[in-house]
Amino acid sequence: MSETKFKPLRYRQIHLDFHTSEHIPDVGAAFDAEDFVATLKAAHVDSITVFAKCHHGWSYYPTKVGKPHPNLARPDLMGEMISACAAADIETPVYISVQWDELSAREHPEWRVMSATNQFSRALANDPSSLKQLSPAWHTICLNHQGARDYILDQAREVASNYKTQGLFFDIVLTPDCVCSACIDRMIAEGLDPENPADRLKNDEAVNEEFRRYISDALFAEYPEQRVFYNCGHIHKMGRHRFDTYSHLELESLPTGGWGYDHFPSSARYAATLGFDFLGQTGKFHTAWGEFGGFKHAEALTYEAAQMVALGAKCLVGDQLHPNGAINHDTYRSIAPAYERIERLEPFLKGARQVSEVAILAAEYFHPNGDRNNASDDGAAQMLQELKLPFDVIDGTASFEPYRLVILPDTIPIDAALAARLKSYVAAGGRLLLSGQSGIGADGFALDLGLEAANGLVEFTPSYLRADPDALDASLPHSPFVMYGTGQAIVSGAATVLASVVPSYFNRNYRHFCSHQHTPDDPAAGTIGAGVTEYQGIGYVAFPIFQMYHAYGQPLYKYIIRGLIRRLMPDPVLVTDLPSAARATLTRQEAEGRHVLHLLYGAPQVRGKGVPTEAGPTRVLEMIEDVPAIGPVTAKVRLGSRPSRIFDALTGADVDWQMLQDGRVEVTLPRLHIHSALVLEGV
């Protein structure tokens, strides 16, 4: 679906949850339309997603399709919100819960998902009952039932016909591993094996696509200007065609809710390549969605909103309204500083596009598993963020030509068609960086890496790497350092070897072991293969280094990649002296003839060390509280011409800068607190 006919998304949005049990009385009784709107305006909010139907299955307007909440004190709570906001020029997209609908699960048990693993969200871990019937769980609806599809479409039509809304947000369109009789019949008809988890995922995805197509075809035909979005908690890197039924994208990524602070940048750098208008979705909650009485620090929201716009997204903060309908003033006091900043920045955000020299070819595209992200992709994105290298994340359908360097992290299979594309790209001057199994097939190397052979896996786990710091990176040690992963056994050929694999004395087992953790390197054994190489514009690391960095965070692994990139791309568009926890992006406003440099610093800290999870084990919680100012900081930008002026977007104050002899522009910022946007005019 082309996004051109839809009005641009607004920059300062709220997503208002309202999942309210039928056992709570006087629902919405304290709602005050005047206070509601005044609170939103004071927080600089210009759009708020309001609720038609919640996860409990109840509706909050006089519906003839569904059922109003039995204790709804204001018969048209949603309508009152829409009318009041419209008068204040606040947009009101409408929320409809899809697969989590407890009322429908009770009234239509034939629509229920039958999970192959009997897993249901929010279920009790020790509940053995069928479909977790004895748990306070969401009992998911299977979309492979025409009655369920028609119910959602009829309610969507009812809302779109009777209310002045800008769009519909369909929440919870999941891959629930369903083996109900309808799904089993469908899998057998399609030649899929219901006992194979990968085939069940294919079926779930196909059922969801049929649902999305059914809903969008009807809505876009009848309400052509209404936006439509389907939420599943992640924007899967499956190609632009995956989103043909969408008007825009919303990147759900609540850092404290289990997504972490590295998820959104990776998703945003993919979404920005697809041509959609898109939103970042965070929340005001301390832990996860739906938390009552949880508050995120205002500086965290300021950082998160600034990061969104720096990456080309509009902003959205999730909230949940109390069942009594009274808006929480403390929540919006914490949102106000972030949105006041974004409002002032908007002239420097509209139409801005990322300047990216590097692309990460997403392993998720080649290995879809229904999860939020792939560890190799995450590790690569984390490294490039810490190195402040502007990059995009692309899928296998994207063009390589816009980029100087393409990274194939760890597990990218290269068939004949992809090999031909990559060879053409390198022949035209492009550069590649591969790691682990990427580029190695059953018949050897898919590309000419200047290596003689790939002989399976290195015998020793872990093994060690001995690098040449002078040739690779000065921060690497001269002595061997441990590699927390199993590498490929590579025989070097014409390639330049920048680091070699060193064995240990033996692998640790009951027969022989040494010390507490793993056996040391064997100095007498020499080297047993190439570990890091470069050949005719292609760098290669024999280990799954991006997975390893994501798991262990060993800075030496990042320095290996930094050294390779410097050899392959010695003059990057952006260099800064910001610390590794800081972030930097460069955008271009073509119509205005200017670049905008975003510098951010708000290092998350692990504060929660035992947050419960649905699966049973606990997780850590990263958070941002009090962000110290840093500075002075400098950045060098290669633009190709001399700017006419450089100034701070928020204050309008001029910023010190100079032209360097190599043609780059160097800017100096005396102080950086959370975020600065520097405007480089005339370039």
The 3 state secondary structure assigned to 291-355 is CCCCCCCHHHHHHHHHHHHHCCCEEEEEEECCCCCCCCHHHHHHHHHHHHHHHHHHHHCCCCEEC
Strand intervals (E) in 165-313: 167-171, 227-231, 249-252, 278-283
Predicted confidence at residue 383, as pLDDT, reads 98
Over residues 284-299, the pLDDT tens digits come to: 999 999 899 999 999 9
Predicted confidence at residue 369, as pLDDT, reads 83
Predicted confidence at residue 668, as pLDDT, reads 96
CA distances from 562 to 362, 404, 454 (A): 19, 15, 24
Angle (CA) 172 148 121, round 5°: 35
3-state SS assignment for residue 626: coil
Predicted confidence at residue 3, as pLDDT, reads 44
Rounded Cα–Cα distance for residues 10 and 249 (Å): 13
Between helix 545-552 and helix 555-568 the angle, nearest 10°, is 140
Over residues 89-118, the pLDDT tens digits come to: 999 999 999 999 999 999 999 999 999 999
Predicted confidence at residue 615, as pLDDT, reads 72
Predicted confidence at residue 443, as pLDDT, reads 82
Neighbours of 656 (CB within 10 A): 12
Predicted confidence at residue 376, as pLDDT, reads 96
Predicted confidence at residue 125, as pLDDT, reads 86
Predicted confidence at residue 4, as pLDDT, reads 53
Angle (CA) 299 305 311, round 5°: 135
Output the pTM of the full model. Answer: 0.95
Strand 665-669 and strand 656-659: pairing?
Answer: antiparallel
3-state SS assignment for residue 382: helix
User: Which residue ranges of the chain lie beneath pLDDT 70?
Assistant: 1-4
